[in-house]
Amino acid sequence: METNESQRDPLSVKKAKISFLWHMHQPYYRDDLSDSIVMPWVFLHAIKDYYDMPWYIEKFPSIKATFNLVPSLLVQLKEYEDYNVNDRFLKTIKEDVIELERSQKLYLIEYLFFSNTEHMIKPFSRYYDLYLKKERFADLQEALLDFSDEEFLDLEVLFLLSWCGEYLRENNKIVKELIKKQRNYSQNDKIRLLESLSEFIKEIIPYYKKLQKSGQIEITTTPFNHPIAPLLFDIQNAKIANPYTSLPKYEGNLKEDALSQIDSAILLYEKLFEKKPTGFWPAEGSICYEFLEVLSQKGIKYACSDEEVLYKSGHFFKEDIYKNSELIFKNSKINLFFRDKTLSDLIGFTYSGWDSAHAVNDFLTRIDRINQSSDENLNINVILDGENAWEHYPKNAKEFFETLYGAIENSPFCETSLMKDVLKDEKISSNKLHEIMPGSWINANFDIWIGHKEKNRAWELIFETKAQYEKLKQKIDPHTNKMIQREFLIAESSDWFWWYGDDHHTDLASTFDLLFRTHLMNVYTLLNKKIPRFLLDPIVDEQKKAKDFFKKAKNYITPTIDGKIDNFFEWLGCGEIDLESELSSMNTDNFIIKKIYTGCDRKKCYLALIGDFSNLFEKSYIEVSISGRVYKLFISKNRKKIANSIEYATDEIMEISFDKKIVKNKEISLKLFKETQLLQLLPLYSKIEFNCLNEIKNNWYI
């Protein structure tokens, strides 16, 4: 720590409060009409994250945190308590491998490598061997032909084990036994494991309920299906948040649906936790004045959003986010907590690449600086996704959290608090608000969910289907009306819009697209009407989306390693990684390296880092990690060599060449340092692999 703690008088030190909020969320993957769950992500995160996160906290009695459990997640967790749940993935993986048809194996193998390579696959040597075998083939169909039944069965079991969290690995007898076995699994092993995991899921909701009753955690909720509520109240809120946003064609509004999303969330919370919710984390921190007023009228005491929303509302000082803000309405009020973007994003996106002790020291140093910057008592809100970041940490972030919570317990200048308790703390300064701009936690606007032609088309399909329903709803019986309303609420989930457009990429984009349209098709089925053509046509341009983040190499290249693009043809046909598209939810304005070019010839592999190096010469270096072996490339205008294996040069860009023998079948990651400060991970979550021969074979063009 920068501060000399030994010189402090513990009795006189002002302690900052840290209010953690861990947001747990998955969209509704079930198609109610077919009674089938289409994707298994609730199950997988249930065995990895939903128990582990509060378990890390329970070990530290003085640590408190708020958990946001989205209703659409909770209802699916309840379904997974039944071993015979109708989940397509689980039903297929339960089958004996020798009985599987080729189409079933192909379906499974699309998921069976959806584990983080570094932290989930590599710790299992057999799993990593199967992964490397898969990587030798151009595509999964080709790889599948070379997998024996024995290998495929091992792959199934190891995939499930890789998703088991640290609690299960330490406490579940069957999980421990099968991890120790390593390979040569039987069908009985697999079924025993699946049965045990189903029993484990039954413990998750009661565990949260127990910890809330003990006072160590607090549970908040979200509008039921995680919609962007301000857009349901009035889609013009997108234009208010960003005047340059293009709106879809629409008639009417979805305000009644917004109210239904709120009411049904409160009802489910009361049913599961036997009390009324105190707080809401609106989906994606998306708020507007009318939405918040409705929450206040329903007895909700607080809601949360991002600091940038407060700034856009006329409060320009960072210290305002550490106050207890009250938004005042005519006949009610609601408290607002604004997340510290820097601290939250460091945990979500940066510290995974750091040693735990270094990361925690950095975090608490920043907390101490904030605390010392003011004479007032402060509340610092750290709010982020509670499940998706941890696979990028070793051991599901267990070491990080134990180090963090232990350090906070022993800290003389900070302590944790529940948000509901902050409301009662009269020492924390109050900040009175009379208006608030619409916005979300991403750039204080809604452009992630509206504005792109694909996103707008999805909105138009909702409005068009709603208009057809409004014409006929008076003739429909109450039960069918209720089922139709449910389909609309599911279709309004933010997640479908997240995957449309240029912002984010997933290999499952077409599956998400079809599931979204299926919910609207179900409306026509329930109306006993023919499904219109416009719902049958895919929205997503799959070819385009595959190019958004990573473009594969199409030609051999042999660039001159001089730090310049000497001519048009030097990197023509190279692969390209667009770092700004890898995770557009981050503010990428501070990214120094914007793109990475990749390529190869017969003997060497090449990287080019594209960005602004003007302030980096002689002070900075790139740390290159090749399957754990680390090389430091110091940034200067002199051409450099590391033995005969690596050559590099920096001028307008940075160009690097590798002998193929040191990178073949290896994963490469890069870190940019200035002096001792980590500036950027390259890429943020992914790894670079040189599969140039396969890429060029599959993408060759005239």
Q: Is the pLDDT of residue 61 over 70?
A: yes
3-state secondary structure (DSSP) of residue 382: strand
Mean pLDDT of 600-605: 88
Mean pLDDT of 482-502: 96
What CATH architecture does domain 552-699 belong to? Sandwich (2.60)
Q: Is the pLDDT of residue 588 over 50?
A: no
Bridge partner residues of 431 (DSSP):
325
| pTM of the predicted model as reported, rounded to 2 decimal places | 0.82
Q: Is the pLDDT of residue 115 over 60?
A: yes
pLDDT cut 70: percent of the chain above it: 93
Sign, CA dihedral 212-361-350-366, equals positive
Sign, CA dihedral 355-370-343-679, equals negative
What confidence score (pLDDT) does residue 313 get?
A: 95
**What tens digit of pLDDT does each residue of 608-635 get?**
999 888 888 878 999 998 877 889 999 9
Helix 204-214, helix 255-273: angle, nearest 10: 80
Gap between the Cα atoms of 321 and 338, Å rounded: 5
Helix 102-112, helix 149-162: angle, nearest 10: 40
pLDDT bin (cut points 50, 70, 90) of residue 527 is very high
Which residues fall within 8 angstroms of residue 555, CB to CB, at 6 or more apart? 572, 573, 574, 599, 696, 700
Sign, CA dihedral 341-67-369-671, equals negative
In the block, residue with structure tokens 């609730």: 42
Gap between the Cα atoms of 310 and 332, Å rounded: 20
Gap between the Cα atoms of 282 and 291, Å rounded: 9
Q: Is the pLDDT of residue 140 over 60?
A: yes
What confidence score (pLDDT) does residue 456 get?
A: 97
pLDDT bin (cut points 50, 70, 90) of residue 549 is low
| Average pLDDT, rounded, for the chain | 91
Q: What is the DSSP-derived secondary structure letter of residue 532?
A: P
Higher pLDDT, 693 or 507: 507
**What tens digit of pLDDT does each residue of 355-369 get?**
999 999 999 999 999
pLDDT cut 90: percent of the chain above it: 76
Q: Is the pLDDT of residue 13 over 50?
A: yes
Element (DSSP H or E) covering residue 218: strand 217-220
- Note the residue count of the chain: 702
Mean pLDDT of 222-250: 97
Mean pLDDT of 402-424: 97
What confidence score (pLDDT) does residue 378 get?
A: 97
Mean pLDDT of 269-280: 98
Higher pLDDT, 674 or 360: 360
DSSP string for residues in 456-474: HHHHHHHHHHHHHHHHHGG
**What tens digit of pLDDT does each residue of 301-334 get?**
999 999 999 999 998 789 999 999 999 999 999 9
Whole-angstrom Cα Rg for the chain: 26
Gap between the Cα atoms of 409 and 407, Å rounded: 5
Mean pLDDT of 267-278: 98
**What tens digit of pLDDT does each residue of 31-46 get?**
999 999 999 999 999 9
Q: What is the DSSP-derived secondary structure letter of residue 37?
A: E
In 3-state terms, the chain is what percent helix, strand and coil (to 5)?
45, 20, 35
> Exposed, middle or buried, 176 (CB in 10 Å: 0-12/13-18/19+)?
middle
Gap between the Cα atoms of 90 and 346, Å rounded: 35
Which residues fall within 8 angstroms of residue 210, CB to CB, at 6 or more apart? none
3-state secondary structure (DSSP) of residue 274: coil
Higher pLDDT, 77 or 507: 77
